[in-house]
Amino acid sequence: MINTDVLVIGAGLAGERTAIELASQGFQVIIISLVPPKRSHSTAAQGGMQAALGNMAKSQGDSTDIHFEDTVKGSDWGCDQDVARLFVNLAPIAVRQTAAWGVPWSRVEPGPRKLPDGEVVQELLEKEGLIAARDFGGTKKWRACYASDGTGHALVYAMDNVTLQLGIEVHDRAEALALIHDGQRCYGAVVRDLRTGELRAYHARATVIATGGHGRIYGHSTNGIINEGTGMSIALDTGVVPLGNMEAVQFHPTGVVPGDILISEACRGDGGYLLDKNEHRFMPDYEPQKKELASRDVVSRRMVQHMRKGFGVESTYGPHLWLDIRHLGKKHIEVNLREITSICRDFLGVDPVRKIVPVRPTQHYSMGGVRTNIAGRAHGLAGLYAAGEASCWDLHGFNRLGGNSVAETVVAGTVVGKSIARDLEWLDFPYSEQAVAAMAEDTTQMVQERILRLRAGGKEYVYDLRNQMSNVLMEKVGVFRKGAELQEAVDELAELCQRSKHLGLRSSGVGANPEVAAALRLPGMVRLAFLIAYGALKRTESRGSHAREDYPFRDDIHWLKRTLARWAPGADLPTLDYEPVRITEMPPGDRGYGESKVLAVEEKVRA
């Protein structure tokens, strides 16, 4: 057994930031990660990191208050306002600290500047050399700090470099498969080495889950291959830790087919068309005013609606639609839409100057996760913490603002790190190390038995089940949700849950066998999928990214609350509880964008 003060599961931005905070206070930290830290999915965050620095002409007068407002509105009043307040206050410090750690943030260049829409702004001389920002959807001011076209990459590299500096041990190619706990407190995790296939136990006084999102349970996701929600599912497996708001899943309208690489909003913003299988531009039929420029979730919904009517293009990779930017001209495409052009050319072999690009809506972000309090402590289990996309700290509520996720990882990492340090110093209570060793032994045994059972051979094949699960989610719990379909999804996923108990291997399963890894993950993934469908079925309103066709209104009377899902070990079904959302500064109101109406107002009128 390996002993340490703190075990951090996941080496993305949130995990590493937490580790840095603790190591710099003198605690021993071990990070375990599926992949080397610099390969984490955090690197893919290209957009920016939101922080109210107010250095640009278009961000004059920006403040943490406005950032707070944008965040709460973005969340459709689903977020915890104490958390949002803490977050917006700390975000500027977080950005500046990463600057000191070496992130080459793009800087303000004074002088006049012409914006794409023709407006000319004057960047101030007094702001020269300070951190610049750019525009991002859903914000009043320009607030997304960026490092050229690789914000996530630059941040991850700077962060990982600091872990090197502090000599933090990183055990890469390792996957946590179960938490060691006694129902009261968490004592570490049992981990499978993905080099050798061996199991080993880590005993830690504090355990942090920072494993990122669960995007890959959907068939089509912009998330990395490794984002399979492993951290969420091991927390769920304890039976005492609830996952919050799992039904809150964000979609992006334009992922390319195949590969699901995200094409940024710019393609529609600059005047691209969406075409169906007859190369007919269908968006004006649905949204005569805004057409392709309607908001992300609306466009995604209309695309799915149109494909369901049979207008999707059939392909080996499933139905899709076309994106057409040819009419923008070669020069515009190659200069202003350079990133999109290179994605199309490099990963599809399609030249967008001459050809139409296959796209479809794809899963993008999971707002839900391990429910924690404002200090990052997981509900239900002492000594367990969570940070980043894996957690439901609840900064994002039902819809995340672009750029807030990157900022969240760094800020939450700091906050969680500090609270762990405090807890270890002041709240730690003595326990029997022998008892922990026995517990670790039991847990290891349990995981070992799971592997042996797989080797003994059940009749189900892991990739068949996974594809079925992904399809159910994609078709019935996607951007558009309807009671009857959700019920079907719940039934089908419940059946898949049962079938996932009878997985068997087709290969030998010796060593670092990838089939074993997939088969060990799958039951947890199916349970997460079930929670998403189940939570969505029960939530009879539309809020943020959760859009019910049969309940198109936001219902602040009944649903200003957060879903908490627990799954008792061995039980067939999870239990759902609800807790009120903390509203401190900003009462629910109109978002000022999007189509959803607010039920509260109408009901009041009727009453």
Partner 1 sequence: MPNRKLTFRVFRHNPYDPQSAPRVQKYEMQETPRLTLYGALTRIREEQDPSLQFDFVCRSAICGSCAMLVNGRPRLACRTLIEQLPSRINLFPLPFFRLVGDLSVDTGTWFREMGQRVESWIHDSEPFDPDALEERMPNDTAQTIYELDRCIECGCCVAACGAAQVNPTYLGAVGMLRIARFLTDPRDDRADSDFFEVVGTEDGVFGCIGLLACEDYCPKGISLTTQIAYLRRKMALTSLRSSSNGKGASAGAQHAEKAKTAK
Partner 2 sequence: MSSFNGKVVARSSRRIGGANNLAPRAQWAALPRTWVSLNQVRIARATAFMEIALTLTGLALSLFMLMHLGLLFSILLGRTSMDALARFLERYFLLQIGASFLVLFLVMHVMLVMRKVPTTLTRQWAMLRHMRAMKHWDTWTWAFQGVSGIALLVLVAIHIWVVLTDLPVQSAKSGERVFQIYLWFYIPLVVLVESHLNVGLYRAAAKWHVLSRRLAHPILLVFTGMVLGLGVAILVTFYRVGASLS
Distance of closest approach, residue 49 Cβ to partner 2, in angstroms: 20
Q: In the range 39-68, which residues lie near partner 1 by CB under 8 A?
A: 39-41, 43-44
Cα separation, 335 vs 317, whole angstroms = 30
- 8 Å CB contact between 436 and 4: no
Annotate each residue in 335-354 with x if it binds partner 1 (CB under 8 A) or - if it does not, as one string: --------x--xxxxx----
Told to judge if 364 belongs to the known catalytic residues of this protein, a careful annotator would answer no
Q: What contacts 220, CB < 8 A, 6 or more positions away?
A: 255, 260, 318, 360, 361, 362, 363, 470, 474
291: left (phi over 0), alpha (psi -120 to 50) or beta: left
Q: In the range 353-392, which residues lie near partner 1 by CB under 8 A?
A: 358
- 8 Å CB contact between 360 and 219: no
Distance of closest approach, residue 580 Cβ to partner 2, in angstroms: 39
Cα separation, 191 vs 230, whole angstroms = 12
> In a 3-state reduction of DSSP, which class is residue 174?
strand
Nearer to partner 1, 130 or 293 (CB): 130
Cα separation, 98 vs 51, whole angstroms = 12
Distance of closest approach, residue 527 Cβ to partner 1, in angstroms: 22
483-499 helix and 514-538 helix, angle to the nearest 10 degrees: 150
Cα separation, 411 vs 13, whole angstroms = 10
* DSSP alpha helix (H) spans, 25-63: none
Q: In the range 347-376, which residues lie near partner 2 by CB under 8 A?
A: none
Distance of closest approach, residue 20 Cβ to partner 2, in angstroms: 9
User: According to the binding rule CB under 8 A, does residue 147 interact with partner 1?
Assistant: yes
Of 268, 360, 466, 521, which residue is the catalytic one? 268
Nearest residue to 33 (alpha-carbon basis) of 240, 220, 202, 154? 202
The continuous run of DSSP H or E covering 446 comes out as helix 433-456
* Site residue total, partner 2 (CB under 8 A): 19
Distance of closest approach, residue 4 Cβ to partner 2, in angstroms: 8
Told to judge if 268 belongs to the known catalytic residues of this protein, a careful annotator would answer yes
Chosen residue from 2, 121, 124, 261 binding partner 1 by CB under 8 A: 261
If contact means CB under 5 to 8 A according to the sort of partner, which of partner 2, partner 1, none does residue 30 touch?
Answer: partner 2
User: Which region, judged by CB under 8 A, interacts with partner 1, from 315-323, 420-428, 451-459, 547-555?
Assistant: 315-323
Of 214, 252, 371, 562, which residue is the catalytic one? 252
Q: In the range 69-98, which residues lie near partner 1 by CB under 8 A?
A: 93, 95-97
Q: In the range 153-212, which residues lie near partner 2 by CB under 8 A?
A: 162, 165-172
If contact means CB under 5 to 8 A according to the sort of partner, which of partner 2, partner 1, none does residue 27 touch?
Answer: partner 2
If contact means CB under 5 to 8 A according to the sort of partner, which of partner 1, partner 2, none does residue 544 touch?
Answer: none
Distance of closest approach, residue 156 Cβ to partner 2, in angstroms: 18
Cα separation, 246 vs 474, whole angstroms = 15
- 8 Å CB contact between 321 and 300: no
List residues with catalytic annotation: 252, 268
